């Protein structure tokens, strides 16, 4: 699983200087729960972020308009007055999404290359559009001078890679136990996002960190008793 996120950008009349000091993250939980009346499964939250740093801001501007000249410089000067909302939703667990070994492609050492197969569920995209609409409403209610949407399209990249190594008590239906210890290899612990069986509805980093701290305490405990 990935972790779908749609984006809303806005420019305001006065400087916000969102890039300074401590960022604010999740600010709206109103749409966290799934609602059948929406016509799709999923929910999520809306984060108010520091937004992109100047270099990324410049890259986004050049991708959506002139990348040089007076017009580009004028848009660069909007950076202190900018703000963005990240609308984090779900990436549903789909059985056809998997990590496998490529049957033909080899790496430099002749070993099969890793192949990642992934396609967003239609509900994920519908949920992303719904949350983005709510983000636009927030920016407009805040009297933004200009509001723009990032395109919503199927993902081919993510920094949040989740799933494939399920946690459980039964080795027949899971890869690791409750302490992230693999059932088959006693001294191997997987302390990343692979144990998550859903993508959640927001940034998974803090959850992964909390689970890793818990696993580390268990590793130290069993190491002291000579179990590993």
DSSP string, 26-86: EEE-TT-S--GGGSSS---EEEEE----HHHHHHHHHHHS-SSHHHHHHHHTTGGGEEEEE
Rounded-to-integer distance, Cα 99 and Cα 116, Å: 5
217: pLDDT strictly greater than 90? yes
Polymer length of the chain: 228
- The pLDDT tens digits of the residues spanning 160-216 come to 889 999 999 999 999 999 999 999 998 999 999 999 988 888 788 889 999 999 999
pLDDT, residue 50, reads 66
Share of the chain above pLDDT 90, in %: 64
Domain map of the chain by residue range? 5-92+120-149, 159-228
Contact (CB, 8 A) for 68 and 112: no
Q: What is the pTM of this model?
A: 0.86
84: pLDDT strictly greater than 90? no
Give the model's confidence band at 108: pLDDT under 50 very low, under 70 low, under 90 confident, else very high.
Answer: very high
Rounded-to-integer distance, Cα 132 and Cα 30, Å: 13
Residue 57: what are its φ and ψ, rounded to 5°?
A: -55, -45
pLDDT, residue 51, reads 66
């Amino acid at each position: 699983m990935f972790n779908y996120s749609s984006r809303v950008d806005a420019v305001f009349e006065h400087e916000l200087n969102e890039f300074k000091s401590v960022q604010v993250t999740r600010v709206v939980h109103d749409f966290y729960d799934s609602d059948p009346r929406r016509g799709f499964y999923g929910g999520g939250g809306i984060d108010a972020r520091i937004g992109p740093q100047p270099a990324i801001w410049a890259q986004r501007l050049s991708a959506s308009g002139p990348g040089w000249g007076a017009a580009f410089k004028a848009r660069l000067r909007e950076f202190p007055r900018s703000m963005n909302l990240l609308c984090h939703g779900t990436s549903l667990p789909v059985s056809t999404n998997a990590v496998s070994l490529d049957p033909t492609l080899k790496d430099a050492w002749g070993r099969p290359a890793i192949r990642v197969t992934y396609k967003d569920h239609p509900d994920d995209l519908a949920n992303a559009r719904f949350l983005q609409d709510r983000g636009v409403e927030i920016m407009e209610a805040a009297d933004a001078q200009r509001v723009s949407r990032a395109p919503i399209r199927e993902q081919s990249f993510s920094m949040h890679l989740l799933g494939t190594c399920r946690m459980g008590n039964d080795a027949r239906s899971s890869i690791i136990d409750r302490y992230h210890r693999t059932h088959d290899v006693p001294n191997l612990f997987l302390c990343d996002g692979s144990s998550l069986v859903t993508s959640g509805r927001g940034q998974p980093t803090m959850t992964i960190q909390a689970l890793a701290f818990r696993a580390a305490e268990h590793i130290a405990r069993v190491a002291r008793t000579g179990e590993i």
